[in-house]
Amino acid sequence: MNTIQTLIDAMTQGSIYALMAVGIGLVFGVLRLVNFAYGQLVMAGAYTLALTNGWNPALSIVTCFAVVIGLTMTMEVAAFRPLRNASPATMLVATFAISFLLQSIASLKFGILGRTVGTLTGLNRPIGDGRLLVRWVSIVAIVVAVIALAALVLLLNKTSLGLHMRAAAADFRTARLLGVRANLVISFAVLLSGVLAATVAVILTAGTPYVTSDYALRDTILVLVGVVVGGLDRLWSATLGGFAIGFATGALGGFLPSIGDWPFTSGVYLDSAVFGLVILVLLVRPDGLFVPRGRQTVERV
């Protein structure tokens, strides 16, 4: 029973991280920009949900999407666009700055004590008679992730905008020389990443309702590590990488004893165990865990 429960929890964590990985991977694909501030988009969504606690849940969620998408597009216009021809290092440092800026703003505006989201607390209830502690939010997270990923696959494979995005991700210059509109494709990718961030905010706050200014920061770092380990130059390998690190974190957290001294106490040594695995993977498969051998295009380590 316990094993099943842990595996479902790990799947949940993996699904949420996969969504974040897609959000980061989409923008990387067209801009070659690693958005470190992605977690702060989720944080902004979480605060929006917390501040609209008394509202009708549907209205609260719509507001969350509006705020996160608005913030994402502001980021695109104010930061990404002026830096489009800058080096990847410059862009990464810029997103670091945005990340800390948004965290500081949140601390100043909402205090350091944090807020609690009550929008979808019903999802926190266990399914069934309570012997198996599977929460509704676990199922919702997995289902939403599957639907969102399926929709994205359809969009990328069946529409001309999706085709343009795939072409732009593989070779942006040639895509422009064929008449693909760079601004449109980039804005659309950034927009999608915002939609995914808002989705993650809604799911994450249902399971972890206590929102502080560093909300989703640790998740973002883990997802970034996951997409690098998976392989950042392909959307599907980045997504699998995100899922894998989420799954590993969830599973290790469940299987490792929560009390005792050795070998790895969950909570205390969880990060050590996860990053130990990451180092191992990078040593064995430096091209990315899910990238076919001999197909490296992006330097990772």
Partner 1 sequence: MTAILELDGLEVRYGAVPAVRKLSFQVGKGEIVGLIGPNGAGKSTTLHAILGLVPAHAGEIRFEGRSIRGRSPEAVVRSGIALVPEGRRIYAHLTVEENLRLGLAGRRSRDLESLERDFEWVYELFPIVQEFARRHAGTLSGGQQQQLAIARALVARPDVLLLDEPSLGLAPQLVDVVFQALAAIRERGVTVLLVEQRAQRTVAFADRTYVLSNGELSTTLGPGDAGDTDRLIAAYFGR
What is the contact surface with partner 1 in residues (CB under 8 A)?
160, 163-164, 166-167, 170-171, 173-182
CA 231 to mean position of chain CA atoms: 15
CB of 74 to partner 1, least distance (A): 23
Residue written as tokens 């990340």? 99
Alpha-carbon span 43 to 198, nearest angstrom = 9
Identity of the residue, 247 or 290, whose beta carbon is nearer to partner 1 in the bound complex: 290
Identity of the residue, 128 or 179, whose beta carbon is nearer to partner 1 in the bound complex: 179
Residue written as tokens 């266990």? 126
CB of 163 to partner 1, least distance (A): 6
Alpha-carbon span 269 to 275, nearest angstrom = 10
How many other CB atoms are found less than 10 A from the CB of residue 85? 7
CB of 250 to partner 1, least distance (A): 32
CB of 237 to partner 1, least distance (A): 13
Beta strands in 188-296 (DSSP E): 210-211
Alpha-carbon span 229 to 223, nearest angstrom = 10
Identity of the residue, 135 or 164, whose beta carbon is nearer to partner 1 in the bound complex: 164
Radius of gyration for the chain, computed over Cα atoms and rounded to the nearest angstrom:
19
Q: Which residues contact 213 (CB under 8 A, 6 or more apart)?
A: 43, 103, 104, 106, 107, 110, 112, 114
DSSP secondary structure letter of residue 168: H
Identity of the residue, 56 or 297, whose beta carbon is nearer to partner 1 in the bound complex: 297
Identity of the residue, 170 or 221, whose beta carbon is nearer to partner 1 in the bound complex: 170
Question: Cβ distance 241 to 21 under 8 Å?
Answer: yes
Question: Cβ distance 198 to 69 under 8 Å?
Answer: yes
CB of 16 to partner 1, least distance (A): 28
Identity of the residue, 180 or 196, whose beta carbon is nearer to partner 1 in the bound complex: 180
CB of 182 to partner 1, least distance (A): 6
